[in-house]
Amino acid sequence: MDLNRISLGLLLLLAAGCAAPRPGTITGTPPTFPPEAFITQRATLTARGRQFTLNGYVARSERGGLRLIVTENFGNVLADLLVRPDGSTTVARSSRAFRPGWISNYMASDLKCIFGASPDPGCVLAIPTADHFIIERRWYRLDLRTVEVKPGPQPSQLFEVVEPGKP
């Protein structure tokens, strides 16, 4: 092979880029959830070569926003997050497994990505089926399945955050 053919091949390879979807893309049919609902989900989080199974409970309200509570299989709360309709976030509870910064940066971004509340421009969401969502980021992969959707108004108390030490 001569040097010109090798150079041309490398140039074409570099021009093609990689096949990964661009940030801010959704592949598959965008998810549709009722504007008022209580949604139960199961997830497998893969990070640093380890897998964790999680349960998620999302309360969705047009006026209150999104409230996510993540638990482990035995019911211990690992994260409690409120995303207001304007996209602002409040971490109500964290754990050793999920630090407040990780919850407010990544969990909030993933929640916005799936439920469409001010989605992060870096969101890359694959939707193989209507109840199956996959988010892949540099540090982790979230494989999420919706188990149950209960439509209807959600109590306003679900969207209030009580500060520690206050009744």
Domain boundaries, the chain: 22-154
Residues 6+ apart with CB under 8 A from 124: 20, 21, 22, 23, 24, 25, 135, 136, 137
Give the DSSP H or E segment for 156. Answer: none
Q: What is the pLDDT of residues 120-139, one digit of tens each?
A: 677 788 999 989 999 998 88
pLDDT band at 31 (very low <50, low <70, confident <90, very high): confident
Separation of alpha carbons 38 and 36, rounded Å:
7
Where b means 16+ CB within 10 Å and e means fewer, 46-56 reads eeeeeeeebbb
**CATH number belonging to the domain at 22-154, selected among 3.20.20, 2.60.40, 1.10.760, 2.30.29:** 2.30.29
Separation of alpha carbons 158 and 60, rounded Å:
9
Q: What is the pLDDT of residues 34-82, one digit of tens each?
A: 999 999 999 999 998 899 999 999 999 999 999 999 999 888 999 999 9
